[in-house]
Amino acid sequence: MPLTLEDRLAITELVSLHGHLVDDGSLDRLEELFTSDVVYDLTDFGQESLSGVAAIREAAYALGAANPVAHHVTNIVVTASADGQVQVRSKGLGIKADGSCGSVSYDDTVVRTADGWRISHRKVSARRTPLGGMTKSG
């Protein structure tokens, strides 16, 4: 079934809500974003993937003051799959308390649940090199 305009808007707002909840310290509301069995893949940062909402919450608390003070999500692209899942790719900017910032890509799998759209898998990849590391050959 193709995504409706309302679906696309709800999915875009879901992805955008992540930064607001985390930046506000509303970690008790992460169930509004993720399925209970979500996989949050941080392997690009040399960390293990987190499984479940409680693990994401605990990791944020453990990071403490090292968490960004602001998460900004941009460039959201929503693509429907034939299996009913939705792939969402977006960019994220994280601003630290010292003013430094970093950029990531979020690759999300989003599914429709009884409570609305939720992220069931998120891969966070650091943006470290221009042009994704591509250079002109020959």
Residue 98 lies in a domain: yes
Residue 136 lies in a domain: no
Residue range of the domain that includes 27: 5-127
Q: How many CA atoms lie within 13 A of 126 on its CB side?
A: 10
pTM of the entire predicted model? 0.92
Residue 22 lies in a domain: yes
Residue 82 lies in a domain: yes
Q: How many domains is the chain built from?
A: 1
Provide the CATH number for the domain around residue 11.
3.10.450.50
Residue 133 lies in a domain: no
What's the pLDDT tens digit per position in 68-120?
999 999 999 999 988 878 999 999 999 999 999 999 999 999 999 999 999 99
Spacing of C-alpha 128 from chain mean position = 18
Residue 76 lies in a domain: yes
| In contact, 46 and 79? CB cutoff 8 Å | no
